[in-house]
Amino acid sequence: MSTKNTPRTPFVGGNWKMNTNASEGAALIRSIVDGLGSTSVDVAVYPPFVYIREIAAITNGSSVQVGAQDLYHASNGAFTGEISTDMLKDCSVSTVLTGHSERRHVLQETNELVNQKTKAALNAGLTTVLCIGETLDQREHGKTDAVNEAQIRSGLDGVSKADLSNLIIAYEPVWAIGTGMTATPDDAQDAHHAIRELIANMYDQDAADAIRIIYGGSMKPANAGELLAMPDIDGGLIGGASLVAGDFGAIIEAANVRAATLVG
């Protein structure tokens, strides 16, 4: 199974989830920024909403982008507890996650809501990381590709080819998130390749060759190199390991090696 060796810039995102406090977050982002030499990788961190401004003040002038873990699709109004894209942009946010498995499975977000959020984020010009992936039960019943396809088709309903250039798909098998279990590089590659073929089918081959498809689910320094050596794995969305600056830096370095290989 091979894919055209298109030099897609690798993307590594750190999803801090509901972790850190103000001082821990500040210390973490300082170490990440300080440890980041010149890199050919797009790097982003997704801190909790309430710390975004402080984190953005520290990343200012560096190449680390600051993102949000979620958004609400309405622009303003009576939506208690929710945060709009304008508010996020006001806080220097340039990228956002949609459809993360914890939002789908813990917070009960539907495909329809994920689609509304994805479109709102893209309309606002935010780099949008649409997260998809199957549960263990679905994998064991051979439904991995069907689940990914259903989540992508509904997530991207109404999204134009032009908007797709600001979208990243994160394939995150639910059973691998936060469990220490990782998809094998071959299994992850198969899923990523099927996703790329689906994008070719829904849009066209150019869109499929250009879109970044990143892997998430217990990615760490020990397995990042082999995952990022696969032709269709364009980066990673990192949870646990992104809370340790050295580990996050090592994963960025593995993505840097990928970038050098693709260009070279």
Catalytic residue set:
100, 172
Is residue 178 involved in binding ligand PGA (CB under 6 A)? yes
CA angle, 240 as apex, 69 and 9 as ends, to 5°?
65
Residues 207-246 that bind ligand PGA (CB under 6 A): 216-219, 237-241
Is residue 56 involved in binding ligand PGA (CB under 6 A)? no
CA angle, 148 as apex, 187 and 98 as ends, to 5°?
115
Which amino acid would we find at residue 192?
H
Residue (84 or 223) nearer to ligand PGA, CB: 223
Contact criterion met (CB below 8 Å) for 159 and 118 = yes
Mark the segment that binds ligand PGA (CB under 6 A) among 22-30, 105-113, 172-180, 194-202: 172-180
Sign of the dihedral through C-alpha 235, 6, 42, 93: negative
The secondary structure of 73-97 as a DSSP string is SSSSSS-TT---HHHHHHTT--EEE
Residue (177 or 230) nearer to ligand PGA, CB: 177
Is residue 95 involved in binding ligand PGA (CB under 6 A)? no
Contact mark string toward ligand PGA, 2..41, x via CB under 6 A? -------------x--------------------------
* Integer Cα distance of 226 and 235 in angstroms: 12
Q: Under rule CB under 6 A, how many of the chain's residues touch ligand PGA?
A: 13
Binding site for ligand PGA (CB under 6 A): 15, 172, 177-178, 216-219, 237-241
